[in-house]
Structure 1
Amino acid sequence: MKKLSTVFVFILLLKITNLMAQDHKAKILVLIHSDNGGTYELAKEIASGIENSNNATAVIKQVKESQNPKLKNIPVASVEELPSYDGIAFGSPVYFGNISTGMSEFLSKTVNLWTNHALEGMPATVFMSAGSGAGKELALNAFWNTLAVHGMVLVSNGIRGTENINKTIPQGNTVLGVTSMASLKDVERPTKDERELAVLQGKNFAKTALALKGTFTSKQTAVSGIEKSEDINTILKQKNIVLPKVPLPAGNYKPYVRSGNLVFINQVALKDGKILNPGKLGVEVNEQQVKEATKATMLNVIAVLKEAVNGDLNKVKQCVQLTGIFNTKDDYTKHADLMNTASDLVVEILGEKGKHARATLGASSIPVNSSVEIQAIFEVE
């Protein structure tokens, strides 16, 4: 029995020692946006360098989901988690001498972090995948400017490692951070030297992050000061809102069209394969029945929207515009009251993001004898 107790105490001490060692390490996020995988390749080398000294751990995450097979399994970071790290290495493609649209959109969501001083004093470093190499320093500077506004400690690569690179081919080395010139196809990109520079950048950044660990804003304070957006799926469950199946098109058109970050949707009051409360208001149906049809139509719109964002309504940034068209007599004027049903529902589901511009109008008839049709425009990630 005494031997068992001794073994138990030894195992417990071993676990405590291991936990203390883990807590002593710097926890670093390698946060990327990558189009074709070039930035991701550099990110892997940066992460390798970070973990090389055994004084830091690295986790690679991306700012948005990607359909690229190389990238689709990389987890997506949330803005709220950024203050929980001891340092962040930011990676992005170069877009016309600037950071990428995906990275820019993510950083635009960090206003609450800025107002709460959540990233002040945290070390940051940057790396980028360029095309021809033109504009890479300008793009790196744009990255630095954004992070400087947050009060982050910017860690440059300097001329570290440049004495060993192959001078006979163009390389992506800069003093601000490593880059790779992806469009030069004569050699594999990133090159062996670009990868080695990225490893060196990761090693140097890990030392800085470890040295500054615990010296900046308390993680708990930073996170608690940020208003987190509620998960849309949780809201739907709490409010017992069940979305219908996406109605199939009745002609040569699509349930939705996406153009850039905008999604366009048109729906009528189809429910369980039939038009709910069909007919003209004041003739075949009354106002209450039209409101029921309007709710069903808006649920169809949300169901189509969910399909447009691959099942994740949290990717909806804003309901931009709703237009309600009602099958009414010529002298009817209370269209806005009918449309409030749709407006209230979208705000109930999406919160502040559901508030929108709106138009309502009457029509002498609507296709398939529906009492209502709703046209919707949403901005999504």
Structure 2
Amino acid sequence: MKKLSTVFILILLLKISTVMAQGNKARILVLIHSDNGGTYKLAKEIASGIESSKNAAAVIKQVKESSNPELKNIPVASVDELPSYDGIAFGSPVYFGNISTGMSEFLSKTVNLWTNHALEGMPATVFMSAGSGAGKELALNAFRNTLAVHGMVLVSNGIRGTENIDKTIPQGNTVLGVTSTASLKDVERPTKDERELAKIQGRNFAKTALALKGTFSKKQTAAVAQEKSQDINEVLEEKNIILPQVPQPAGNYKPFVRSGNLVFINQVALKDGKILNPGKLGVDVNEQEVKEAAKATMLNVIAVLKEAVGGDLNKVKQCVQLTGIFNTKDDYTKHADLMNAASNLTVEIFGEKGKHARATLGASSIPVNSSVEIQAVFEVE
């Protein structure tokens, strides 16, 4: 019995030691955008170097979904998760001496992190893949400039490992970070030496991340967490808001038009196939009935918007403009009060992203005898 107790204690101590060891590891994100897989190949070598020290764990994620079969199973990172790591290695293709569009778009969404100092003091390193190799130093510097604005600690590769590379073929090494040249024929890319440089960079970065672990304040990320938008589907469920079926066009037009990142929508107070509270305010309907119609109209707008973003309302970045047109008599002046029903619903669903510019006006009549018509403009991903 005594022997069994001793064995149990040893097993328990071993498990506790394992958990403590894992907790002491630096957790590093390898964040990439990759077009044809070249950056991803370097990322795997970077990750291998990070984990070779046994004191760090690497997680590879990409900034957007890819149709490349080699990349389709790599998870997509969110901006809000960045402060949870002990270091980030950023990887991207070179686009004309600059960061790739995909990576640039992702970094453009980190404004809240910047204003809340969420990445200050966190170590960062960069690596890139290039077609011809031209402009790689410019691109690396552009990358690092963005990270420097966040107050991140920039870890360069220096000349580590360069004494062992094959000088007879072009190599993608730089003092700022490893790169790979993709256009060289009859040479596997990344080359053996470029892969080795990437491992060295990862290993060196892991040491820095481990040394700085716990030195930058995680309390500063609390404001970011509070600003994180709640899932719109959860909001709709919690508030028991049911979106109607998308109204079908009654003529030669579309329910919505998307131009770039803007979606344009126009709807009337259709509910269950009929116009809700039809007619002119003060003649056929009262103010309360028009407010109900405005709310129903806004629900139609949001139903159309959901279709415009492929069913995911979380892709809505901002309600830009709402215009309410009301069927009123010439002397009516309280249009803004009527429109509040639609505006309040929009903010109720989208929070801060639902706050918008607004216009309201009266009309002598509205198509299909609706008491209200709403025009909406939304910015989406």
TM-score by length of 2: 0.86
Q: Secondary structure at the match of 1:159?
A: coil
| Structure 1 residue 309 corresponds to structure 2 residue 314 | no
2:227 aligns with 228
Q: Secondary structure at the match of 1:51?
A: helix
2:217 aligns with 218
- Residues 333/199 of structure 1: CA separation in 2 closer, same or farther (3 Å cut): same
1:370 aligns with 370
Matches within 5 A, 1:219-368: 219=218, 221-226=219-224, 227-231=226-230, 232-368=232-368
Q: Distance between the aligned counterparts of 2:304 and 2:335, measured in 1?
A: 24
Q: Distance between the aligned counterparts of 1:150 and 1:161, measured in 2?
A: 29
Q: Show CA shifts across 1:307-329 (max 9, x none).
A: 33344433322111112233344
Cα deviation for residue 59 of structure 1 reads 0.8
Cα deviation for residue 58 of structure 1 reads 0.6
Q: Show CA shifts across 1:97-132 (max 9, x none).
A: 332344334434444544554433321101223344
Q: Show CA shifts across 1:259-303 (max 9, x none).
A: 332222222222233332233434443332222121112112222
Letter in 1 for 2:217: S
Q: Distance between the aligned counterparts of 1:67 and 1:289, measured in 2?
A: 49
Cα deviation for residue 254 of structure 1 reads 3.8
Q: Distance between the aligned counterparts of 1:34 and 1:211, measured in 2?
A: 29
Cα deviation for residue 140 of structure 1 reads 1.2
Q: Distance between the aligned counterparts of 2:170 and 2:362, measured in 1?
A: 64
1:27 aligns with 27
Letter in 2 for 1:257: V
Q: Distance between the aligned counterparts of 1:34 and 1:171, measured in 2?
A: 19
Q: Distance between the aligned counterparts of 2:360 and 2:184, measured in 1?
A: 54
- Residues 167/9 of structure 1: CA separation in 2 closer, same or farther (3 Å cut): same
- Residues 203/291 of structure 1: CA separation in 2 closer, same or farther (3 Å cut): same
Gaps of 5+ in 2: none
Q: Show CA shifts across 1:1-36 (max 9, x none).
A: 444433332321121121122123211011223445
1:160 aligns with 160
Q: Secondary structure at the match of 1:175?
A: coil
Q: Secondary structure at the match of 1:50?
A: helix
Identity of aligned residues (%): 87
- Residues 351/12 of structure 1: CA separation in 2 closer, same or farther (3 Å cut): same
Asked if 1 retains the 8 angstrom alpha-carbon contact of 2:80 and 2:228, the reply is: no
| Structure 1 residue 198 corresponds to structure 2 residue 198 | yes
Moved over 6 A (4+): 183-186
Equivalent pairs counted in the alignment come to 379
- Residues 70/186 of structure 1: CA separation in 2 closer, same or farther (3 Å cut): same
Q: Show CA shifts across 1:323-381 (max 9, x none).
A: 22333445544332222211111112222221111222334444444332222211223
Q: Distance between the aligned counterparts of 1:118 and 1:92, measured in 2?
A: 22
2:90 aligns with 90
- Residues 26/271 of structure 1: CA separation in 2 closer, same or farther (3 Å cut): same
- Residues 335/129 of structure 1: CA separation in 2 closer, same or farther (3 Å cut): farther
Deviates more, 1:20-29 or 1:238-247: 238-247
- Residues 363/116 of structure 1: CA separation in 2 closer, same or farther (3 Å cut): closer
Letter in 2 for 1:6: T
Q: Distance between the aligned counterparts of 2:373 and 2:134, measured in 1?
A: 50
- Residues 205/354 of structure 1: CA separation in 2 closer, same or farther (3 Å cut): same
Cα deviation for residue 89 of structure 1 reads 0.6
Cα deviation for residue 246 of structure 1 reads 3.0
Q: Distance between the aligned counterparts of 2:161 and 2:35, measured in 1?
A: 27
Deviates more, 1:185-194 or 1:356-365: 185-194
- Residues 310/51 of structure 1: CA separation in 2 closer, same or farther (3 Å cut): farther
2:77 aligns with 77
Letter in 2 for 1:341: A
Deviates more, 1:4-13 or 1:157-166: 157-166
Deviates more, 1:110-119 or 1:123-132: 110-119
Deviates more, 1:277-286 or 1:341-350: 277-286
Asked if 2 retains the 8 angstrom alpha-carbon contact of 1:80 and 1:228, the reply is: no
Q: Distance between the aligned counterparts of 1:245 and 1:271, measured in 2?
A: 9
- Residues 185/82 of structure 1: CA separation in 2 closer, same or farther (3 Å cut): same
- Residues 282/116 of structure 1: CA separation in 2 closer, same or farther (3 Å cut): closer
Deviates more, 1:164-173 or 1:125-134: 164-173
Gaps of 5+ in 1: none
Letter in 2 for 1:212: L
Q: Distance between the aligned counterparts of 2:109 and 2:130, measured in 1?
A: 24
